[in-house]
């Protein structure tokens, strides 16, 4: 089987900012084009059955997608990268490693779509999911039994910005020989490298920071282990939820500025978090950079900075007031998604997390007055002024 692996060891020793631009990326062998061409083709000519140049059919391999998959592997310090048609398709491929009777222990505070996939699709195929707060690692260990085959961690979590100790979970997963996957969408490889901390699989909604420009829906998986990579490539090809060459090109372009965008997202995120925390109308700001955040020290040790995502509630926990604030915002566009250069606001209870029953989501803090912000890379003065006018 053809593997999208990082053969060239020189990429392994590059620093992160260099990797985003060069990692895993080679000039096109045909004409030396610096950016990989968009190979807009479904199939490839063969001189005789099996007589091809490594490419047979674009569900299986496409040179533009493969260039992107190498870039994914490089920036996550992995050996193998896989690109999918969405973040959900990437998660779907992981769960297809399991079989009926297997059990999964998942973060209880997670993207509503992941919860929906687990409970509405895969529970129907006989896979059992346990949702648990993972701030305390013992909560995971008590649920482990001989059927436990996967630990699913999202960190930072969407939308409560909880932080889970990746290294501690990996020690547990290794002790019981359980596969360990991390949804690192909010962090990106700029902020944290789960494979280096002991995870087996890193997953991204590439739609978010990695793509970075709100123009592509895509998912990614990155692994170090060859056998695991082969199983996932088999699922990728057999199930067929791949992304197209145009989107692969756009994301290759996006990755080249990931480090500079993330630096500004983090700076602006901090300024917005501090502004909101000091505003008299605000009840609570959820952002891992505050020393009062329950897992601030873990965030500090496993992340380079604290990211551009935060959530908050206003005093009195008033739903109508939260909606009014969201409607008043001018620069923060009310929209699903996050991680693009432009600032977005969201109302998790009615939007991204509506598929989680109210009782369940409120247990993890997703109350009706919660507002989520994806802080973009605009001038910070304009963002703060927009929040000021919306709150007043
Ligand atoms: O939207 P898609 O590319 O399929 O990715 C799904 C997904 C997976 N994991 C996390 C942590 C996510 O945040 C998402 C998508 N989230 C949103 C659309 C949102 O607004 O939160």
Which residue from 202, 210, 195 is spatially nearest to 68, judged by alpha carbons? 210
Centroid of ligand 1 to alpha carbon of 33 (angstroms): 33
158 lines ligand 1 (CB under 6 A): yes
Per-residue model confidence (pLDDT) at position 13? 81
Checking if the pLDDT of 32 tops 70, the result is yes
β-sheet bridge partners, residue 153: 182
Catalytic residue flag (residue 253) = no
| Segment 245-263, tens digit of pLDDT | 999 999 999 999 999 999 9
Q: What is the mean pLDDT of residues 189-199?
A: 98
| Segment 233-249, tens digit of pLDDT | 999 999 999 999 999 99
Which residue from 109, 150, 114, 113 is spatially nearest to 132, judged by alpha carbons? 109
Checking if the pLDDT of 166 tops 50, the result is yes
Q: What is the mean pLDDT of residues 61-80?
A: 96
Atom 19 in ligand 1: residue holding the nearest Cα: 337
Checking if the pLDDT of 25 tops 70, the result is yes
Atom of ligand 1 nearest to the CA of 218: 3
Atom 2 in ligand 1: residue holding the nearest Cα: 87
Residues 338, 350: Cα–Cα separation, whole Å? 16
Checking if the pLDDT of 3 tops 70, the result is no
pTM of the entire predicted model: 0.97
Q: Is 307 left (phi over 0), alpha (psi -120 to 50) or beta?
A: left
Per-residue model confidence (pLDDT) at position 26? 85
Per-residue model confidence (pLDDT) at position 58? 97
Which residue has better confidence, 4 or 358?
Answer: 358
| Segment 76-113, tens digit of pLDDT | 999 999 999 999 999 999 999 999 999 999 999 999 99
Which of 89, 113, 185, 191 has most ligand 1 atoms within 8 Å of its beta carbon, as the pocket-test mutant? 113
Centroid of ligand 1 to alpha carbon of 113 (angstroms): 7
Checking if the pLDDT of 11 tops 80, the result is no
- Looking at every residue in the chain, the average pLDDT score rounds to 95
Per-residue model confidence (pLDDT) at position 318? 87
Centroid of ligand 1 to alpha carbon of 220 (angstroms): 12
Dihedral sign computed on CA atoms, order 291, 295, 300, 305:
negative
Atom 16 in ligand 1: residue holding the nearest Cα: 337
Checking if the pLDDT of 2 tops 70, the result is no
Residues 209, 185: Cα–Cα separation, whole Å? 7
3-state SS of the chain is CCCCECCCHHHHHCCHHHHHHHCCCCCCCCCCCCCCCCCCCCECCCCCCCCCCCCCECCCCCHHHHHHHHHHHHHCCCCEEEEECCHHHHHHHHHCCCCCCCEEEEECCCCHHHHHHHHHHHHHHCCEEEEECCCCCHHHHCCCCCCEEEEEEECCCCCCCCCCCHHHHHHHHHHCCCEEEEECCCCHHHHCCCCCCCCCEEEEECCCCCCCCCCCCCEEEEECCHHHHHHHHHHHHHHCCCCCHHHHHHHHHHHCCHHHHHHHHHHHHHHHHHHHHCCCCEEEEECCCCCCCCCHHHHHHHCCCCCCEEEEEECCCCHHHHHHHHHHCCCCEECCCCCCCCCEEECCCCCCCCCCCHHHHHHCCCCCCCEEEECCCCCHHHHHHHHHHHHC
185 lines ligand 1 (CB under 6 A): yes
Structure tokens at 344: 């977005």
The distance from CA 4 to its chain's CA centroid, rounded to whole angstroms, is 20
Residues 382, 255: Cα–Cα separation, whole Å? 26
Per-residue model confidence (pLDDT) at position 1? 45
| Segment 264-297, tens digit of pLDDT | 999 999 999 999 999 999 999 999 999 999 999 9
Residues 173, 180: Cα–Cα separation, whole Å? 6
47 by Cβ neighbours in 10 Å (0-12 / 13-18 / 19+) ranks as: exposed
Residue 5 pLDDT class (50, 70, 90 cuts): low
Structure tokens at 32: 């030396």
Phi, psi of 303 (to 5 degrees): -120, 150
| Segment 113-156, tens digit of pLDDT | 999 999 999 999 999 999 999 999 999 999 999 999 999 999 99
Atom of ligand 1 nearest to the CA of 90: 4
Catalytic residue flag (residue 15) = no
Atom of ligand 1 nearest to the CA of 337: 20
Residue 360 pLDDT class (50, 70, 90 cuts): confident
**Which residue, chain included where needed, has tokens 């529970």?**
123
| Segment 199-211, tens digit of pLDDT | 999 999 999 999 9
| Segment 299-338, tens digit of pLDDT | 999 999 999 999 999 988 889 999 999 999 999 999 999 9
Per-residue model confidence (pLDDT) at position 7? 55
Give me the CATH topology for the region 11-255: 3.40.640
Angle between helices 63-75 and 245-255 in degrees, nearest 10: 30
Centroid of ligand 1 to alpha carbon of 20 (angstroms): 22
Catalytic residue flag (residue 305) = no
Centroid of ligand 1 to alpha carbon of 233 (angstroms): 22
Checking if the pLDDT of 40 tops 90, the result is yes
Domain boundaries, the chain: 11-255, 258-391
Question: Options 3.60.20.10, 3.40.50.1700, 3.90.1150.10, 3.40.1160.10; which CATH number does 258-391 get?
Answer: 3.90.1150.10
Catalytic residue flag (residue 116) = no
Checking if the pLDDT of 6 tops 70, the result is no
Atom 12 in ligand 1: residue holding the nearest Cα: 111
């Amino acid at each position: 089987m053809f593997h999208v692996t990082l053969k060239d060891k020189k990429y392994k020793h590059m620093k992160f900012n260099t990797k985003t631009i060069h990692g895993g990326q080679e000039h096109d062998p045909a004409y030396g084009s610096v950016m990989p061409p968009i190979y807009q083709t479904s199939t490839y000519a063969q001189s005789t059955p099996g007589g091809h140049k490594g490419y047979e059919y674009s569900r299986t391999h496409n040179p533009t997608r493969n260039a992107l998959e190498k870039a994914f592997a490089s920036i996550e310090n992995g050996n193998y990268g896989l690109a999918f048609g969405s973040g959900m398709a990437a998660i779907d491929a992981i769960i297809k490693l399991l079989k009926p009777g297997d059990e999964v222990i998942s973060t209880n505070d997670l993207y509503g779509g992941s919860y929906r996939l687990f409970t509405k699709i895969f529970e129907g195929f006989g896979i059992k999911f346990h949702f648990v707060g993972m701030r305390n690692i013992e909560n995971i260990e008590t649920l482990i039994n001989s059927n436990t085959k996967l630990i699913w961690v999202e960190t930072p979590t969407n939308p409560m910005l909880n932080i889970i100790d990746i290294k501690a979970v990996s020690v547990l997963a290794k002790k019981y020989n359980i596969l360990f996957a991390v949804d690192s969408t909010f962090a990106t490889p700029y902020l944290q490298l789960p494979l280096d901390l002991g995870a087996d699989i890193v997953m991204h909604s590439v739609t978010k920071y990695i793509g970075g420009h709100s123009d592509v829906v895509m998912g990614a998986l990155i692994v170090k282990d060859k056998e695991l990579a082969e199983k996932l490539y088999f699922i990728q090809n057999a199930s067929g939820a791949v992304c197209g060459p145009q989107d692969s090109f756009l994301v290759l372009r996006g990755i080249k500025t990931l480090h500079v965008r993330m630096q500004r997202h983090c700076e602006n995120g901090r300024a917005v978090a501090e502004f909101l925390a000091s505003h008299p109308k605000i009840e609570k700001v959820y952002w891992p950079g505050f020393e009062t955040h329950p897992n601030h020290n873990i965030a500090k040790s496993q992340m380079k900075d604290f990211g551009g995502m935060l959530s908050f509630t206003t005093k009195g926990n008033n739903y109508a007031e939260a909606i009014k604030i969201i409607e008043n915002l001018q620069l923060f566009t009310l929209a699903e998604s996050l991680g693009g250069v432009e600032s977005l606001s969201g109302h998790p209870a009615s939007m991204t997390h509506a598929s989680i029953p109210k009782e369940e989501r409120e247990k993890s803090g997703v109350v009706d007055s919660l507002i989520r912000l994806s802080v973009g890379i605009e001038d910070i003065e304009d963002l703060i002024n927009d929040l000021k006018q919306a709150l007043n």
